[in-house]
Amino acid sequence: MKDFTAASDYPVAMDVTPEVTPFFDEDSNTFSYVVKDPNSDACAVVDSVLDLDYAAGRTGYEHADRIIEFIRDNGLKLDLQIETHVHADHLSAAPYIQEKLGGKISIGNNITVVQDVFGKVFNEGTEFQRDGSQFDILFREGDTYTIGTMPAFVLHTPGHTPACMTHVIGNTAFVGDTLFMPDAGSARADFPGGDAGQLYDSVQKILSLPDETRLMMCHDYGTDGREVQYETTVVAQKAENIHFAGGISREEFVKMREARDATLGMPRLIIPSIQVNMRAGNMPAADTDGNVYLKVPINKL
Ligand SMILES: [Fe+2]
């Protein structure tokens, strides 16, 4: 498939409304989703979370088990797991869910760029493949697929990370870390491989979807103490987003985004998250004693 050249090329199916069930992870403020075809038992899972008690170095499955239970209780068939990007604030539970329910694990094809950047940060040896082969599917912009009878397509929306993709399933877009709810603005663009200018361009792509397209957030932090929210629309973002409403030039956005990012600390779980998520949610190979260890690079991030 080749990249879209204009929004009129997007094969949006506004007459198809997927049944979307959110699962909120309070520890990382992440929304995972089960996306069900209204006309069949097929579903997809977007951005699952593996629990991690970082202080104890202990993983858990409470969040993932809620998703698995939902899929089983409703007699659904899991076709696809979508990682919108390599998350820096939580571990993916994709391999755990795949082991229980099957379905393919996917990410954007620029995962190879992320693997290259962070392969260096974590001084991974040659046994760490940087070709994305840990994933079952590498999507690129313009790719189309179906979940049951629902048509879907993929937009490349980098800036937060090089591999960020927005998946548009029927009339609903899963935007990953690009836009947040209108009162929260946009994602940070200062991780290695991030780029505020690219993020601006990516947001323009999302805002060129039809006005009534539903947008599902990857995160929400409950701005000013309100309840967390996960769903908005293109038209609401155009009218109200604190970083984009009323129009902002690329240059102004880059200046604003970079100034804001300079004030942000690293996410609490970035070090374990990246090491696991760049391996499609798998831990590094066991050490010589049979135990699994993660690294902490000193003074590198
Ligand atoms: Fe992220």
Compute, in angstroms, the gap from residue 290 CA to the centroid of ligand 1. 31
Compute, in angstroms, the gap from residue 188 CA to the centroid of ligand 1. 8
Compute, in angstroms, the gap from residue 218 CA to the centroid of ligand 1. 8
Compute, in angstroms, the gap from residue 81 CA to the centroid of ligand 1. 16
Q: What is the pLDDT of residues 56-97, one digit of tens each?
A: 999 999 999 999 999 999 999 999 999 999 999 999 999 999
Compute, in angstroms, the gap from residue 30 CA to the centroid of ligand 1. 9
Compute, in angstroms, the gap from residue 278 CA to the centroid of ligand 1. 12
Compute, in angstroms, the gap from residue 85 CA to the centroid of ligand 1. 7
Q: Which helix (H) or strand (E) holds 156?
A: strand 150-156
Compute, in angstroms, the gap from residue 252 CA to the centroid of ligand 1. 23
Compute, in angstroms, the gap from residue 154 CA to the centroid of ligand 1. 17
Q: Order across the sheet with 150-156: list the strands.
A: 144-147, 150-156, 165-169, 172-174, 214-216, 231-233
The Cα 40–Cα 49 span in angstroms is: 25
Among residues 286, 299, 277, 297, the alpha carbon closest in space to that of 88 is found at 277
Compute, in angstroms, the gap from residue 194 CA to the centroid of ligand 1. 11
**66: helix, strand or coil:** helix
* pLDDT score for 1: 57
The Cα 180–Cα 203 span in angstroms is: 11
Token output for 288: 């010589």
The Cα 233–Cα 175 span in angstroms is: 11
Compute, in angstroms, the gap from residue 15 CA to the centroid of ligand 1. 30
What are the φ and ψ backbone dihedral angles of 30, each rounded to 5 degrees? -100, 140
Compute, in angstroms, the gap from residue 183 CA to the centroid of ligand 1. 18
The Cα 121–Cα 115 span in angstroms is: 10
- Enumerate domains of the chain plus CATH numbers: 7-277 (3.60.15.10)
- Say if residues 154 and 140 touch (Cβ distance below 8 Å): yes
CB under 8 Å to 9, separation ≥6 — which residues? none
Q: What is the DSSP letter of 286?
A: P
User: With a cut of 70, which residues of the chain have pLDDT below it?
Assistant: 1-2
Q: How far is CA 225 from CA 183, 215, 236, in A?
A: 12, 22, 20
Q: Which residue has the tokens 């993929």?
A: 154
* pLDDT score for 3: 81
* pLDDT score for 246: 87
The Cα 230–Cα 141 span in angstroms is: 24
The Cα 111–Cα 129 span in angstroms is: 11
Compute, in angstroms, the gap from residue 31 CA to the centroid of ligand 1. 11
Compute, in angstroms, the gap from residue 176 CA to the centroid of ligand 1. 7
Q: How far is CA 92 from CA 40, 118, 172, 195, 282, in A?
A: 26, 17, 22, 23, 8
Compute, in angstroms, the gap from residue 58 CA to the centroid of ligand 1. 22
